[in-house]
């Protein structure tokens, strides 16, 4: 069997823990206060520049609501931020199923928490390819790895998790949460999952289309090759 087959889920899931890691930080000034207003005990996990942007929005309330992902996982970000969220505790928190006893035991064993909402948008790959000074290497550097992984994990587990990939959706999500005691329905989570998979599919297609147009010589000319015979 390829994976767990789930039969029992909660229709309404309260958003207690949110992971936010975004390249496009527009709309955070709507989303973050809205999350806190809907659930005064909400916990936000975040990374890098997003963490500092949220900290500025929350001000003194940061101590109550905001945690660095590295502090949560116990693993510091790599130098330059190449690896931030690719961690067992993060993906266990996203993928865990409410009525799976083994998953709940894993949460307890690792001192992890279930993550109820993932707010992610991806490195601007298409924009990077359109810059006047774009090279194969500058575009390669803008291929997001952790972001699509988190989006796909959250969208796969729409049974419990809301995957939010577009700042346009922030006001609607906040409104729903405020009107429903910080809860989202299964139907809402499913709608967000469909959009999330569209988002990652378009992102991967943009990368594939770009690379298909690049000649091997153009790629090789970007680099000083240590072993020229290789």
Residue 99 confidence (pLDDT) above 80 = yes
Alpha carbon distance 109, 129 (integer Å): 44
Condensed to tens digits (0 to 9), the pLDDT of residues 29-50 reads: 999 999 999 999 999 999 989 9
Tens digits of per-residue pLDDT, 52-80? 999 999 999 999 999 999 999 988 776 56
Give the pLDDT confidence score for residue 172 in this predicted structure. Answer: 97
Sequence spans of domains, the chain: 13-220
pLDDT tens for 16-25 read 999 999 989 9
Q: Are 164 and 119 in contact (CB under 8 A)?
A: yes
Say if residue 113's pLDDT is above 50.
yes
Residue 122 or residue 118, greater confidence: 118
Residues of the chain with pLDDT > 70: what percent? 95
Query: What's the whole-number mean pLDDT along residues 169-188?
Result: 97
pLDDT of 79 reads 59
pLDDT at 83 over 90: no
Give whole-number Cα distances, 47 to 54, 151, 155, 213, in Å.
Answer: 10, 15, 20, 34
pLDDT at 124: 77
Average pLDDT, stretch 118-140?
A: 87
Task: Residue count of the chain, please give it.
Answer: 230
pLDDT at 1 (0 to 100): 43
Class for domain 13-220, per CATH? alpha beta
204, 209, 112, 119: which is closest to 163 by C-alpha? 119
Mean pLDDT of 113-120: 97
The torsion region of residue 128 among left (phi > 0), alpha (psi -120 to 50) and beta comes to alpha
Average pLDDT score over the chain: 91
3-state secondary structure the chain: CCCCCCCCCCCCEECCEEEEEECCCCCHHHHHHHHHHHCCCCEEEECHHHHHHHHHHHHHHHHHHEEEHHHHHCCCCCHHHCCCCCCHHHHHHHHCCCCCHHHHHHHHHHCCCCCCEEEEECCCHHHHHCCCCCCHHHHHHCCCCHHHHHHHHHHHCCCCCEEECCHHHHHHHHHHHHHCCCEECHHHHHHHHHHHHHHHHHHHHHHHHHHHCCCHHHHHCCCCCCCCCC
pLDDT at site 20:
97
Whether residue 84 is predicted with pLDDT greater than 80 in this model: the reply is no
């Amino acid at each position: 069997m390829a994976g767990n087959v789930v039969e029992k889920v909660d229709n309404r899931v309260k958003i207690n823990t949110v992971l936010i890691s975004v390249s496009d930080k527009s709309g955070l000034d709507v989303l973050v206060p809205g999350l806190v207003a809907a659930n005064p005990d909400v916990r936000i996990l975040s990374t890098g520049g997003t963490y500092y942007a949220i900290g500025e929005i929350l001000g003194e309330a940061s101590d109550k609501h905001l945690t660095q992902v590295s502090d949560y996982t116990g693993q510091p970000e790599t130098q330059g931020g190449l690896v931030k969220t690719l961690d067992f505790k993060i993906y266990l928190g996203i993928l865990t199923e409410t009525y799976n006893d083994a998953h709940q035991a894993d949460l307890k064993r690792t001192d992890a928490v279930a993550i109820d909402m993932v707010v992610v948008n991806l490195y601007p790959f298409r924009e990077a390819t359109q810059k006047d000074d774009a090279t194969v290497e500058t575009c390669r550097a803008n291929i997001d790895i952790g972001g699509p992984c988190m989006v796909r994990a959250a969208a796969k587990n729409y049974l419990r998790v809301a995957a939010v990939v577009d700042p346009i959706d922030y006001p609607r999500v906040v409104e729903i949460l405020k009107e429903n005691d910080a809860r989202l329905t299964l139907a809402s989570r499913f709608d967000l999952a469909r959009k999330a998979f569209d988002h990652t599919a378009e992102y991967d297609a943009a990368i594939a289309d770009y690379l298909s147009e690049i000649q091997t010589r153009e790629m090789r000319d970007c680099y000083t090759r240590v072993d020229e015979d290789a």
